[in-house]
A and B are shown apart, each in its own frame.
Chain A
Amino acid sequence: MTDILRLPAETTYAAELEALKRKDDAPTPRGWALSPKAVVTYLMGGKAADGTPISAKYVGDRRLIETAVATLATDRALLLLGVPGTAKSWVSEHLAAGICGDSSLVIQCTAGTDENQIRYGWNYAQLLANGPSREALVPTPLYRAMETGKLCRLEELTRMGSDVQDTLITVLSEKMMPIPELNDAVYARRGFNLIATANNRDKGVNELSSALKRRFNVVVLPLPDDMDEEIAIVTRRVGEMALSLDLPAPKNVAEEVARVVSIFRELRGGSTIDGKVTLKTPSGSLSTAEAIAVTVGGLSQAAHFDGGKLNAEGLAPSLLGAIVKDPVQDKIVLEEYLEAVLKKRPDYAGYYRALVDLV
Chain B
Amino acid sequence: MLADPAMVPPVALLVYASDDPARAAFWPFAVYSPEYQAACWAVRNGAAVRFIDVPAAWGLASGDEPASEPEAEPSDAAEAPVDEIAVRLERDPIGLLAEAGGYQDGESWWRDVIEESPASDAVFAAVADAMAALRDAAPPAEGREALREAHMRLEIAKAAKEQEGVVAVVCGAWHEPALKAKVPLSQDRDLLKSAPKQKTSATWAPWTSPRLAFQSGYAAGVTAPGWCGHLWETPREEVTVRWLGRIVQALREAGHIASTASLIEAQRLAVALAAMRDRPHPGFEELREAAIACLCHGERLVWETIAAKLLLGDAVGEISPDVPLAPLIEDLQREQRRTRLKPEALERELAIDLRSEGGLDRSTLLHRLLILGVPWGRQVDAGRSRGTFRERWQLRWEPEFVVRLVENLVYGPTLARAAAGRLTAHFAEAADLPALCGLTLSALTAQLPDAAHAGVERIEHRVALTSDCGELLSSLAPLGDIVRYGQARRTDAVQLETLFVRILSQGALALPYAVRGLDAEAAKLLRSALLAADAAAVLAEADLTDWRAALSTVVEDEQAAPLLAGVAARLLYEAGTIMPEAAADLLGRMLSPGRAVADAAGFFEGFFDGAGERLIYDPGLRAAVDRWMQELEAEDFTAFLPLFRRALGNLDRMQRRRLLDAVFGRGGAGLQGRAAAADAEAIWPAHFQRLTDILTARPAQ
Contacts and interface: CB of A to CB of B under 8 A. Distances in A.
Interface stretch (A140-148, A239-247, A275-283, A317-325): A275-283
Nearest to B266: A217
Contacts of B292: 67, 218
Contact of B300 (A220, A279, A328, A329): A220
Kindly name the residue among A37, A210, A277, A278 whose own CB sees the greatest number of chain B CB atoms within 10 A. A278
B296 to A, nearest CB: 8
Nearest to B505: A339
A36 interface: yes
Contacts of A270: 464-465
Interface in A316-359: 328-329, 332, 335-336
B297 A213 contact: yes
Contact of B272 (A70, A81, A213, A329): A70
A63 interface: yes
B285 A63 contact: yes
Contact of B293 (A67, A73, A214, A335): A67
Contact of A73 (B257, B259, B272): B272
B511 to A, nearest CB: 11
A70 B262 CA distance: 16
Interface in B457-477: 460-461, 463-465, 467
Contacts of A217: 265, 269, 293-294, 298
B275 to A, nearest CB: 8
A67 B289 contact: yes
A299 interface: no
B510 A332 contact: yes
A79 interface: yes
A74 interface: yes
A336 B509 contact: yes
B273 interface: yes
A335 B513 CA distance: 14
Give the contact-size bracket for chain B: 20 to 34
A277 B464 contact: yes
B289 A278 contact: no
B260 to A, nearest CB: 11
Contacts of A69: 276
A332 B269 contact: no
A44 to B, nearest CB: 13
A71 interface: yes
B513 A66 contact: no
A195 interface: no
A76 interface: yes
Contacts of A210: 257
A63 B289 contact: yes
A210 B276 CA distance: 29
B298 A74 contact: no
A40 interface: yes
Interface in A151-196: none
Contacts of B687: none
A74 B269 contact: yes
A217 to B, nearest CB: 4
A280 B273 contact: no
B299 interface: yes
Contacts of B272: 70-71, 73-74
Given A40-B276, A210-B257, A218 B298 contact: yes
Contact of A278 (B293, B298, B460): B460
Contact of A335 (B276, B277, B509): B509
A213 B461 CA distance: 37
B285 A70 contact: no
Kindly name the residue among A70, A218, A220 whose own CB sees the greatest number of chain B CB atoms within 10 A. A70
Given A217-B293, A220-B299, A332-B513, A76 B265 contact: yes
Interface in B294-334: 294, 296-300
Interface string B278-295: 000000010001101110
A2 to B, nearest CB: 36
A278 B464 contact: yes
B268 interface: yes
The SS class assigned to the B binding surface is: helix
Contact of B298 (A220, A280, A329): A220
A332 B297 contact: no
A293 interface: no
A79 B268 CA distance: 17
Interface string A107-118: 000000000000
Contacts of B408: none
A219 interface: yes
Nearest to A64: B289
Contacts of A71: 269, 272, 293
Contacts of B262: 214
Contact of B276 (A73, A219, A220): A73
A37 B276 CA distance: 7
B509 A218 contact: no
B125 interface: no
B269 A70 contact: yes
Contact of A280 (B259, B277, B465): B465
B494 interface: no
Nearest to B262: A214
Kindly name the residue among B294, B460, B510 whose own CB sees the greatest number of chain A CB atoms within 10 A. B294
B209 interface: no
Kindly name the residue among B273, B461, B463 whose own CB sees the greatest number of chain A CB atoms within 10 A. B273
Contacts of A37: 276
B382 interface: no
Contacts of A70: 269, 272-273, 276
Contacts of A277: 464
A70 to B, nearest CB: 4
Kindly name the residue among A66, A69, A277 whose own CB sees the greatest number of chain B CB atoms within 10 A. A66
B298 A219 contact: yes
Contact of A66 (B276, B294, B463, B506): B276
Contacts of A214: 259, 261-262
B299 A278 contact: no
Contact of A219 (B261, B285, B293, B465): B293
B293 A36 contact: no
A232 B404 CA distance: 56
A74 B259 CA distance: 18
Contacts of A336: 506, 509
B551 to A, nearest CB: 18
Given A214-B259, A214-B262, A280-B464, A67 B273 contact: yes
A318 B208 CA distance: 53
Contacts of A81: 298
A270 B259 CA distance: 37
Interface string A260-283: 000000000011000001111000
Nearest to B258: A214
A213 to B, nearest CB: 6
Interface in A47-82: 63, 66-67, 69-71, 73-74, 76, 79, 81
Interface in B657-697: none
A84 to B, nearest CB: 16
B132 to A, nearest CB: 34
Contacts of B298: 79, 81, 217-220
Given A67-B289, A332-B510, 15 more contacts: A66-B273, A70-B269, A70-B273, A79-B298, A213-B297, A217-B265, A218-B297, A270-B464, A278-B461, A278-B463, A278-B464, A328-B513, A332-B467, A332-B509, A332-B513
29 contacts: A63-B289, A66-B277, A67-B269, A67-B292, A67-B293, A69-B276, A70-B269, A73-B272, A74-B265, A74-B269, A76-B268, A76-B269, A76-B294, A210-B257, A217-B265, A217-B293, A217-B294, A218-B293, A218-B296, A218-B299, A219-B298, A220-B299, A220-B300, A280-B464, A280-B465, A328-B513, A332-B467, A335-B509, A336-B506
Top 8 A-B pairs, shortest CB-CB distance: A218-B298, A278-B464, A70-B272, A217-B293, A220-B298, A70-B273, A218-B297, A74-B268
Interface of A: 36-37, 40, 63, 66-67, 69-71, 73-74, 76, 79, 81, 210, 213-214, 217-220, 270-271, 277-280, 328-329, 332, 335-336
